[in-house]
Amino acid sequence: MQDVENTALSESDLSRSPSLHRDDYLRYGRQMILEGFGLPGQAGLQRSSVVVVGAGGLGCPALQYLAASGVGRIGIIDHDMVELSNLQRQILHNESTVGVYKAISAAQAIQKLNSKIQVDIITEALHSSNAIALLYPYNVILDCTDNAPTRYLLSDTAVSLGKPLVSGAAQKFEGQLSVYNFGDNGPCYRCIFPRPPAMETVGTCEETGVLGAVTGVIGTMQALETIRIITGLHDGKPTLLLYSALTVPFFRSVKLRSKKPSCIACGGDGVKNGTIEETDYVAFCGGVRPNWEQKGLSSGSPGARIRVQELKDMFESNTQITLIDVRPTIEFGICQLSGSKNVPLPQLLADPNSHISDDESGQVVIVCRLGNDSQIAADTFRESKPNIVVKDVIGGLRAWSREIDPLFPIY
């Protein structure tokens, strides 16, 4: 059983004579009158410390409610900067903080909400050589990240430090939540997911999309779980909460197995600090994630690809071309080049012959969002129709917007 002083505050701590400022009784009164919470629970929050790794879609609502509830010390770890595309879901940031470190922007927001709390701002990237030192001072760790290497690093570090890890994830219309390394026999992340998923099966929010309110639901639930842990209201039973915005009921709870004795992290002797520092978590999860925008800009085989300026010249010279956009139909509906027809890549790969006739006149030009799917489609057409000239557009529609038409939408 983990050291309770490193997680929730002990019963003796909670039963001490609390010392709240007079204004705090009014500020926190609505939660202090709850059965099982009371003055000891509020005093416990005030003496507790929580670190949130990731001040994005999950971290923002979690930070907002942790600060509002009166958690005494909050650490924010995030080395990214605010971008315009973040504002749809990352609710602590705003237009005036675009270009500012997310950790700084989030800290400014929650300190406006509650000036009495202590906020630690950490703008360096979390990695295996600094994770122990950065996370050690806090009672509870929140994983509000969106990548597998950091998830495994946080889990191993939480095990090493004997602290609970409140983990959330959200993508598209769905999210999930669980507390790891907590309770008498609670599993760690590796117990449930001993191996990371294949890299090609895991997309980012930029690639797959996410409804902002979904991240709000999961991030808020992470704050709730943290408050339950600190105040002793959590039952310690390991569960995985699944959320879908498109189903009824919205929530489904799955009972998780207990800690695995064979787990390399929390089973047996458990993970050691040195083991964490020696582990290459990126390599363990399949290597560095490809930069798809950069890959889409590669020149490829000579004559196989054209630049957006060449496509523009074709339009202006009335060159006869068949322009095929292989993005999903929903993306084609957002914006498209005039004269293009939509054939989503899965449909094209399933039956390429039905989308180009054998007597096709002129050239066939393939376009997509970044210039990656178009290469796959073009190669498929060349194999099935070797007598037809097929080319694809380097950099896709993003390059078109950047180099040709700055009014063409980027999403």
Exposed, middle or buried: residue 87 (CB in 10 Å: 0-12, 13-18, 19+)?
middle
* Cβ contacts of 92 within 8 Å, gap of 6 or more: 55, 60, 63, 64, 105, 106, 109, 110
Structure tokens at 226: 């943290």
Contact between 305 and 289 under an 8 Å Cβ cutoff? The reply is: no
205 assigned to active site = yes
- Single-letter amino acid code for the residue at 303: G
How far apart, in whole angstroms, are the C-alpha atoms of residue 371 and residue 260? Answer: 44
Contact between 194 and 81 under an 8 Å Cβ cutoff? The reply is: no
How far apart, in whole angstroms, are the C-alpha atoms of residue 364 and residue 389? Answer: 6
- The active-site residue, picked from 188, 205, 263, 285, is 205
368 assigned to active site = yes
Contact between 44 and 90 under an 8 Å Cβ cutoff? The reply is: no
Contact between 277 and 372 under an 8 Å Cβ cutoff? The reply is: no
Pairing mode, strands 165-171 and 140-143: parallel
Enumerate the active-site residues.
Answer: 205, 368
